[in-house]
Amino acid sequence: MTAQPHSKYPHLFTPLDLGFTQLKNRALMGSMHTGLEEVEGGFERLAAYFAERARGGVGMMITGGISPNEEGGMGSEMSTPKHAQEHRQVTEAVHGVDPNIKICMQILHAGPLAHTPKLVGPSAVRSRLSKLVPNALDEAGVQKQINDHVQCAKMAKLAGYDGVEIIGSAGYLLSTFLVEKTNQREDQWGGNYENRMRFPLEIMRRCRAEVGPNFILIFRIAAMDMLQGGMSWDEVVLLAKEMEKAGATIISTHFTWHESAVPTIATMVPRAAFSGVTGRLRKELNIPCITSNRINMPDVAETVLASGEADIVSMARPMLADAELVKKAFEGREDEINTCIACNQACLDHSFEGKEVSCLVNPRACHETVLNYEPSQAPKKIAVVGAGPAGLAYATVAAERGHSVSLFDVGIEIGGQFNLAKQVPGKEEFYETLRYYARMLEVNQVNLHLNTRVSANDLQQGGYDHVVVATGITPRVPDIEGIDHSKVVSYIDVIRGNVEVGKIVAVMGAGGIGFDVTELIMHSGVSAAMDKEVFAREWGVDFKNHPRGGVTGVVPHIVVAERQVYLLQRKSTPVGRGLGKTTGWTHRMSLAKRGVQMINGVEYHRIDDQGLHISIDGQPQVLEVDTVIVCAGQTPARGLFDELAGSGIATSLIGGAFEAAELDAKAAIKQASYLAAAV
């Protein structure tokens, strides 16, 4: 008897026959480096992390990148039976949940991006992202790299993996053989395209010969590498077809090199922006194709699959944000999905900074053995004041654990500052976090009281065992002559649309909020995050004609508001230096493309009818602006906490109210979750 198709997601929940084995559904957790392999007890933590996602219903998972040798230098290596033994903890944990769930190991040889002086490449061409020049491989060196990949695949099989994914994109070793910029060889491994393809194809052929027919081999291809002069469409298709002949089971499409100047996973990228490219490639092949990038909810996955753009949908960060994404979709509980907002703040930024990876909206990610929400043995009556991210996280976790929680906010809706953030073009995903929390308050039966300002007296009368003050921040008002001039406005009023913003504007303070407000006031028309064509136009991508790399010769075009904006800071460091490691450049580029003048080393003197009087490098000048928007940071709003001191009620202070400087939603949610797990 054939199973009935799923009523809402028939494509997502249709198994996929790979010939020698089957995937139970079309949902894949794509590869993400967690850094856990390198920490003490890391394999135990990795096992718990993957097992939790296996229980969450995913069909197949790919591990973070593992190097085949020392030269591949990304930290963890798989080349010996001892390495294989360590990884058995992971494969056994996953197959222990369900033997039908596949887990494949990604083989990642970083090539010119490796963090080791032993780094290698086809030629001695330094990546723009590295300080080191790779050692050009000689013939013996090339053969060694191939052998090491084969050995790595063999050891992955010994470790119990169902397959391996070989990464041939992103500027890592295999991809650097493919393009002329990084492959300047004149032997059989360089020169014409046939020669340049030889290295990755030889790896695939020899891996297949080693592991036999019943082992999944995925090749990750740069289907659109976003490089000026990158791979042409014909080259992409030829490589994929040759990979199929060489023994690949599946082709996985990737859309960038790390050094490319087009954002491909940041929150400003529209959902499923690149799956059309996978769809075109899929038509050329006889093996299944995986698509990826900004597919973060089951309806997006289903649409991609139903339209024939892919056979499998990769959702990597979305499964950090919610390990049960697939299960919740299957059970019709989509409104309970904690959606990845593509901020990169706790995942990719941490990975690139060498910190442990987690997730802004889910601090349990990669901490499954560390942070757990166990039922409370002594349920308490708790009041949480402030329904911003900190208060919401605390209330939901505490209530999930069985405490009786009342949540108060003076506003008419939950969310605190997220209600401002969600209005910034490119931050539309923040609506999802608010939808998630609204639902979780219901599921966990939190007593929500909006439009309610509570006093210390109310709390004392309320008979609470514990009060949590999550009252957020107060915007800082700099002590500058003329700060009360009519042309000075606060970022809050600008975002809420309470004030008119003039044609010539100074934004005072270039932190995250200064950038966001500038983006907002320079914006015109549809947000690029909501429209693939606008995104393509703004970032100079031609999806239709696919010139080399998708970008060669394409001139970006942006429609901007008619406005002249100065974004100012006092520090002498480059403006925007403090923004996220992996997304800061996108914000800086976006404003630069809009003609915003970003000025550092500014000293503010006064504001008057003429404008803003400043000095830059000691040179006085006047910016003749109509509006000065103050984005000069924030201070904790902790009045209520101070009033409660000495009341005898156990009180905690969290989020911006605890610490405003450098406090972001990642820190607020993390702090709240840990405290609520312990109360």
In angstroms, what CA-CA distances link 481 with 477, 609, 619?
Answer: 11, 12, 19
CB of 342 to ligand SF4, least distance (A): 5
- Which partner in ligand SF4, ligand NAP, ligand FAD, none is near 342 (CB below 5 to 8 A by kind)? ligand SF4
471-510 footprint of ligand NAP as x/- string (CB under 6 A): -----x-x-----------------------------xxx
Choice from 216, 297, 346, 568 touching ligand SF4 (CB under 6 A): 346
Contact flag: residue 662 with ligand NAP (CB under 6 A): yes
- Which partner in ligand SF4, ligand FAD, ligand NAP, none is near 510 (CB below 5 to 8 A by kind)? ligand NAP
CB of 528 to ligand SF4, least distance (A): 18
Contact flag: residue 216 with ligand SF4 (CB under 6 A): no
- Which partner in ligand SF4, ligand NAP, ligand FAD, none is near 420 (CB below 5 to 8 A by kind)? ligand FAD
Q: How far apart are CA 316 and CA 405, in angstroms?
A: 33
Give the binding range for ligand NAP (CB under 6 A) out of 20-28, 398-406, 439-447, 567-575: 567-575
Contact flag: residue 48 with ligand NAP (CB under 6 A): no
Tokens 């963090």 -> residue: 115
CB of 266 to ligand SF4, least distance (A): 9
In angstroms, what CA-CA distances link 646 with 360, 468, 649, 650?
Answer: 34, 15, 8, 10
Q: Is 438 helix (H, G, I), strand (E, B) or coil?
A: helix
Contact flag: residue 382 with ligand SF4 (CB under 6 A): no
Q: How far apart are CA 539 and CA 542, in angstroms?
A: 9
- Which partner in ligand NAP, ligand SF4, ligand FAD, none is near 569 (CB below 5 to 8 A by kind)? ligand NAP
Catalytic residue among 172, 394, 464, 566: 172
Contact flag: residue 668 with ligand SF4 (CB under 6 A): no
Q: How many CA within 13 A on the CB side of residue 291?
A: 29
| 590, 519 Cβ separation under 8 angstroms | yes
CB of 481 to ligand NAP, least distance (A): 13
Q: Tokens at residue 505, please?
A: 């504007």
Contact flag: residue 359 with ligand SF4 (CB under 6 A): yes
380 torsion bin: left (phi>0), alpha (psi -120 to 50), beta (else): beta
Choice from 342, 448, 558, 596 touching ligand SF4 (CB under 6 A): 342
* 664-669: long-range pairs with CB below 8 Å, 24+: 664/345, 664/512, 665/345, 665/360, 665/389, 665/417, 665/418, 666/343, 666/345, 666/346, 666/360, 668/388, 668/389, 668/390, 668/393, 669/360, 669/361, 669/363, 669/389, 669/390, 669/393
Q: How far apart are CA 521 and CA 668, in angstroms?
A: 27
Site for ligand SF4 in 259-318 (CB under 6 A): 317
Contact flag: residue 570 with ligand NAP (CB under 6 A): yes
Choice from 360, 399, 534, 640 touching ligand SF4 (CB under 6 A): 360
- By beta-carbon proximity to ligand NAP, the closer residue of 380 and 605 is 605
Tokens 């973060």 -> residue: 296
Helices (H) and strands (E) in the chain, counts: 21, 27
Q: Tokens at residue 145, please?
A: 């790299």
Q: Tokens at residue 463, please?
A: 């008979």
Residue ranges in contact with ligand FAD by CB under 6 A = 343, 345, 385-391, 408-411, 416-418, 420-421, 424, 453-454, 470-473, 495, 512-513, 516, 637, 640, 655-657, 663-666, 668
Q: Is 491 a catalytic residue?
A: no
- By beta-carbon proximity to ligand SF4, the closer residue of 340 and 405 is 340
The number of beta carbons lying within 10 Å of the beta carbon of residue 568 is: 27
Across-strand partners of 27? 313
Q: How far apart are CA 296 and CA 271, in angstroms?
A: 7
Site residues (CB under 6 A) for ligand SF4?
A: 317, 320-321, 340-347, 359-361
Site residues (CB under 6 A) for ligand NAP?
A: 345, 476, 478, 508-514, 516, 569-571, 580, 631-634, 662-664
Tell me the catalytic residues: 172
